[in-house]
Structure 1
Amino acid sequence: MNLRSRRHWVIGDVHGCYQPLCHLLATLPPNDHLVFCGDVINRGEAIPATMDLVWDLVQAGRASWLRGNHEQDLIDALDSQDGLSQHATYAQLGDSNARRWLPRLQQLPLVYRGDGWCATHAGFDAAGQPDLSIRDPFWEAYDGRFGQVVVGHTPRPQVERLGAIVLIDTGAVYGGCLSAYCPQTDAVVQVEGAATEAVLAGVGPC
């Protein structure tokens, strides 16, 4: 069975939530392909362990890791030496380990394409190019040219469908759920996210 014909689970923004990710992986079918929708890094308490786990899955052929705006911000900061002190990922990794991660982050793709669907971190601009920070302009103007598009980036109380767009970031790092969505079956699997008092307004229980 080739990769495109296997079932896929697109996983929302993990943001260093290692234990919830472990729980989610234990719940999902072991032979399906995982697509991490970007923002695996930053904000959470266990960023290095989360990065190592996802990278190991990529290296084993079990997963694809897409670039999010937080990965891009770290790439830019490491390239420019500007603003590194503001990055939780850099602080947790340390300088030498962050430098080791740079070439890996630079090779992360922007889009994963399946049959009749695709995943990207935030959406596409008016020219059809991946945009890691877009929100309303994509939601309001998407014309269906790429089929169903599964995105993270914007936390929602639950997985939300806007026409042919599926938003799967359910605010795991803020005390919401960590969610996975199967575009072939429309199924959603969720686990509890990080236990935190800094709950994002409007993010409800799983």
Structure 2
Amino acid sequence: MTRAEPARATPRRRAGSSTKGAAKREAILDAALEVFGEVGLHGASLREIAGRVGVSHQSLMHYFPTKNELLMAVLRRRDERLRRHFADAGGMSIGELIAVARDNVRMPGVIELYNMASAEATNTEHPAHAYYAEFYESIIASNVRYLQLAADRGLLRDGWTPESAARAILGMMDGLQLQWLYNRDDVHVAQSMELLVGALIAVPLDTLDEARK
């Protein structure tokens, strides 16, 4: 009769190793943001990004096997703040969109990447085309729900619908952020958005926010 071998314990992953891996992943995303912002998707190379992080090309590919996967991870991280509000009851507050525009001036690389990638992604063959198409429609749909409250209360200015107002606000944000990259002294994105919103809605945004509670 053969004696049964003792069961082998399943090796545990050390907490430190997973933490170190997460930190390295974030460092790769930071470096990728810089490189994509400088030279765009097509001009960027995984070797250049790996070099900035101080890891090997093969080590980087362990986290992101292709440049397209890395780009999508960078874009998703950039948009996390807005996406978590898309499903808010009553839609995402326009005030949150303005707050993002105000914070973006501290991260010009993010704005550069966003403008480069979104422009290139109009090509249906671009790896981020479906992502951006869905992102734009999701943010518009969420803002439309928010602005519908203003429309229902007669607070939306004549001639505007929730959808046309939502598209105008987002269009101004995107357009002004592009202009800001050329002239950072005279272009004030958040302040201009606030002026537009004031011309669209008859009450301050704080009042509208209180009304949806």
- TM-score, normalisation: structure 2: 0.25
Structure number with greater CO (CA < 8 Å, separation at least 6) is 1
Asked which structure has the greater CA Rg, the reply is 2
Larger relative helix fraction: 2
When normalised by structure 1's length, the TM-score is 0.26
